[in-house]
Amino acid sequence: MAFSFELKKSIPGFQGRSGEINTPHGKIKTPAFIPVGTKATVKSVLPDSVADVGAQAVLSNAYHLYLQPGPDLLDDAGGLSKFMNWDKPTFTDSGGFQVMSLGVGFKKVIDMNSGSLNSDDLIAEKRERLAHVDDEGVTFKSHLDGSLHRFTPEISMQVQHKIGADIMFAFDELTTLHNTRKYQERSLERTRLWALRCLDEHKRLTDERASKPYQALFGVLQGAQYEDLRRKAAKDLGAMESSGISFDGFGMGGALDKSILGTIVRWMAEELPVNKPRHLLGIGEPADLFAGVENGADTFDCVAPTREARTSAVYSPDGRFNVSNGSYRKDFSPVDKDCACYTCTNYSRAYLNHLFRAKEILGPTLATIHNLHFIVNLVERMRLSIENGDFQEFKKDFLGRYQARSVSTEASPT
């Protein structure tokens, strides 16, 4: 089956819509949340559990899979889906995230609030700069053994083709909200030129590997918090053609200022082709998901539901809380009494509290199952509300309850 996207229904007065993505490994009904399986595994849970919570696809990390177990092994195994025993669609990011996270030493954390810092030399305290960017590509120092590696647009495409995901992303430079405006402009042009090179190499590899299932390529839009840069990126990549092909969809990337997240997504959506899907990279908190869906994002990925689960933070309709807190030691109710996930159906808050306090592996597993079910099904309910014509009412009702009771003192930092 070739790649395609079908638009179903729109939110009146907004860019948001429902649709359906078709891939060689199956369909993805959108909007949809895509769990992150960085190293060909969603941490602490079986693939069957990921499917059971309603997930339609998973996203893995090209950079990490390049280091372990290596793209050649994945190619020999028949591709990512077969290797990890996941018979549904897969995504791979390009390695562009590591341009930022390793480059400034922040590892997995992106600052999503634009503050007073404004520097192109910013680096986390006591961290080493592990990535160096030039116009041709990026040189990485492996976080595993210190060995040096080179990523270019062409190498990123070669790695991702061998990994074999249904949807790949073009190689881009991810900047921070603290970079100067001048650097953001230079970076945007660098990413535009890299996008052209990705299209050329993607075409060459697609022809060379014609016996393999087709892999879709999404261009990635940067521009930080600047409207003109975001719109320019969307116009440039939305109309871009090279080697006789164009992008199959688009990734809305970069560190996005959370205070205007929906507005930034809208800027890009207004400039992009309506007949191609849009993926919002690295966004997974409930309020942010509503903002993204309302303003035109079709799919999302984020490590938050799984990472927070491993620290005992769980989601509920009344907000997020840490189930390891002492107040839940004798609470024999489920995490969420209205949740149909395996965890809530079979276990109590008291049991999860015990597991986390005893440092048992099962604690993160059960919390991850619940959090994934909560977020995946929240976005599925958004999809149904769009098709039923009551998205705004659903948004008001859900966020009114979720945000009404502050649990910030219990929630883990994101």
The catalytic site residues sit at 93, 301
DSSP 8-state symbol, 169: E
Phi, psi for residue 72 in degrees, rounded to 5: -65, -40
Cα–Cα dist 177/413, whole Å: 19
Cα–Cα dist 84/39, whole Å: 10
Phi, psi for residue 22 in degrees, rounded to 5: -110, 130
Asked whether the beta carbons of 296 and 269 are under 8 A apart, the reply is: yes
Residues found in the chain: 414
Q: Please tell me whether the peptide bond between 69 and the residue prior to it is cis, using omega within 30 degrees of 0.
A: yes
Q: Please tell me whether the peptide bond between 31 and the residue prior to it is cis, using omega within 30 degrees of 0.
A: yes
**359 φ/ψ sector (left φ>0, alpha ψ -120 to 50, else beta):** left
Asked whether the beta carbons of 237 and 250 are under 8 A apart, the reply is: yes
3-state secondary structure of 326: helix
Q: What is the CA radius of gyration of the chain?
A: 21
Based on the number of CB atoms within 10 Å of its own CB, is 125 exposed (0-12), middle (13-18) or buried (19 or more)?
A: exposed
